[in-house]
A and B are shown apart, each in its own frame.
Chain A
Amino acid sequence: MARIWSFLSATRGRERLHWTDWASYAYLVAGIFLMFGPVVWLLLSSFKTPNELDRFPPRFLPYVQEQVEIDGMDKPLPAFRIVEGELAGKIAGQTRRAAGRAEVILPENPGERIRLNANQLEAIEGVAFATENYTQLFKRFNFLQFFWNSTFITLTATALMLLVNSMAAFVLAKYEFRGRNAVLLAVIGTLMVPSTVVLVPLFLIVTQLGMFNSLWGVIIPGAATPTGVFLLRQYMITIPDEILDAARMDKASEWKIFWRIVLPLSAPAIAVLAILAIMWRWNDFLWPLIVLTQSENFTLQLALNSFQGELQTDWPSLLAMTVLTLLPIAFAFMFLQKYIATGIASTGGK
């Protein structure tokens, strides 16, 4: 036991790798497999044909059957290698298959149709990424509509939240007025009532405001957040009052001071909040599930959830859609990793 702990807590500067270092690296490498593995598997699976997805046991890489061009045929035919009989070793294109019998044509002899047992044939396959799961998302489902709904909600809600929260944070950080402490207390109070515990009355209010089954019903209720107000206020407090006073001397209006001076100076905090807000809204589920009940209003998350049917799940489409749903967040992560990590750690919210 003591040795295990010694390896966890040690901070030593020797050059040779101690066994505890090996154990640490083993843990981290196992971590790569466990954390990345499932996502890589999703990605690879999404590029497999439906036939390939039905295959058990599954193969790691996506395979696609190769095709062979034969003179006189309109379309390329699926390619097979003949493994038994007098034609063994030859490559043929299959025209028909039924009840264990197959009809094939040899490329060198396009005129003749040969009948064989299906088990005399072996499909010729190569590693290839099939994109039909993705293309049929656009054909068979209203994918662009869902994507647009999610994007609209995310962008509008984020913009609205930044404006509303920064206005409040500005006066709470820079003004001395009666009632300021009461307001701060009220903001803290809202921390205690997450929307999960007031779903019923929220539903009434949103319905009464005519926002049921409307994207605005998702956007507006979450536009003011205690996290946002506090994060921005903490940052705005550090802006020196002298700058504001100098602007007042120059007869700048308070609004101008707010958006011309305070907002630009708070850019780092605003960036952090913007990233958080985008993540919250893009991934939001429970409240949209209650407010948006018609499929044309569905966000990507709702569409994903509703497409996994009770009995028959359309995995080919679902996999492709899952990949497209996580893609924007994955890109954001790659480029904004530093901000995201500090933002989440500093607000304690996700």
Chain B
Amino acid sequence: MLSVISPIMRIIEIPMLALQRMLGINRLAWVFLAPNLILFGLFAFLPVILNLVYAMTGGENILLANRPGVGMQNFSNLLDCGDYFDSHSCRDDKFWRAIWNTVWFVTLQVGFMVGLSLLTALILNRKIRARGFFRSVFFFPVLLSPVVVALIWKWILQRDGVLNAFLDWTGVGGVNWLVDAQWAFAWSVFISVWAHMGFYTLILLAGLQAIPRDVYEAAIMDQASPWRTFRRITLPLLSPTMLVVLVLALIKGVQTFDEVFAFTGGGPGTATTFIIQYIYQEGFAGAPRLYGVAAAASLLVALVLVALTLVQLWVNRRNANG
């Protein structure tokens, strides 16, 4: 490994040394920063600006010069709705269907995930044997790729799959899970919780272990009931970590795409089509490629994410300052 790296580093040293002599140490800092800043500029900041341009132009051409300006048309089409709670009354019913699907999905997924992660973390924080082993049991699905997660569960849930075999055996009878809209949605929430809860369990467990022991010892001295100890000590002291977990889970939840796309393809119908998949389908999945609509929808999602990220940064700062 090192034998590959060393020669490369030595070659880079030649121009870097020349630059150092030319610029001085302080201006050399910008040379070190340059690759990173160029990449950020090209693939993070420039896209944000261009996204605005796309959102205000129409047509199917990717080249900006060939795109006619349409002003706020894309936005007004997306937001043209008789009743925002009823996607059928909207001009772009797919968009609103995706929005409401996403809202429901995020609510259920984050709710179950944070609840289960907390339960698991509390149990793992008890005096149990083989804690490290159990911790990794709950953690390892985090490492699996979304597509692998989707296929593992699709194989179990398919019509002649092992779950239906089991249900037949118990006499309940099988269900064609992924063909039924509500079941497909419920299973999407389930696999998403299954795949990600280990990550949040780990963070909450670290939060629990950071609570000083002597607080609990004092509670025992005062003969506080375990329930009271939990309510008055564990929960308040864990709340900063809970907040971090909640915000992180929301940020990831809004962007859910991979595992559900590979799992149900967004179906049946549009039952599990979420907002990122809507963007993907409008812009990239096939003709017509409505880049303007995709960009406008992206912008609306970005607003939500920016708000959530600001909350996240605020939470992190508050936690860091104690």
Residues on A lying within 8 angstroms of B by beta carbon are: 2-3, 5-13, 21, 24-25, 27-28, 31-32, 34-36, 38-39, 41-42, 45, 54, 56-58, 163-165, 167-168, 170-172, 175-177, 180, 183, 186-205, 207, 220-224, 229, 253-256, 258-259, 279, 282-283, 285-286, 289-290, 301, 304-305, 308, 310, 315, 318-319, 322, 325-326, 329-330, 332-333, 337, 340-341, 344-345, 348, 350
Contact = CB atoms under 8 A, between A and B. Distances in A.
Contacts of B155: 41-42, 45, 315, 319
Contacts of A222: 43
A28 B280 contact: no
Interface stretch (B80-88, B93-101, B105-113, B137-145): B137-145
A24 B45 CA distance: 49
A282 B313 CA distance: 28
B179 interface: no
- Which 7 residue pairs are nearest across A and B when measured between Cβ atoms? A9-B230, A201-B50, A6-B226, A57-B165, A283-B145, A224-B39, A198-B47
Contacts of A8: 119, 122-123, 230
A259 B32 CA distance: 12
A27 B123 contact: yes
Contact of A200 (B137, B198, B298): B298
A341 B151 contact: no
Interface of B: 9, 12-13, 16-17, 20, 25-30, 32-33, 35-37, 39-40, 42-51, 53-54, 62-64, 119-120, 122-123, 125-128, 134-148, 151-156, 160-162, 165, 168-169, 194, 196, 198-199, 202-203, 206, 216, 225-227, 229-231, 234, 244, 248, 255, 257-258, 261-262, 265, 276, 279-280, 283-284, 291, 294-295, 298-299, 301-302, 305-306, 309-310, 313
A138 B292 CA distance: 42
Contact of B62 (A12, A193, A204, A223): A204
A35 B51 CA distance: 40
Given A2-B227, A197-B305, A205-B43, A177 B29 contact: yes
Given A253-B13, A286-B257, A177 B26 contact: yes
Contacts of B48: 193, 198, 201
B169 A194 contact: no
A330 B168 CA distance: 33
A9 B51 contact: no
Nearest to A23: B123
Nearest to A183: B33
Given A58-B160, A340-B143, 8 more contacts: A6-B226, A10-B126, A175-B26, A177-B29, A192-B302, A283-B146, A286-B257, A341-B139
Nearest to A178: B26
A201 B54 contact: yes
A189 to B, nearest CB: 8
A222 B138 CA distance: 29
B26 A344 contact: no
Contacts of A194: 255, 305
Given A32-B137, A193-B44, A286-B276, A38 B305 contact: no
B200 to A, nearest CB: 10
B298 to A, nearest CB: 5
Contacts of B128: 21, 24-25, 28
Nearest to B231: A5
A197 B50 CA distance: 12
Nearest to A172: B33
Contacts of A45: 155
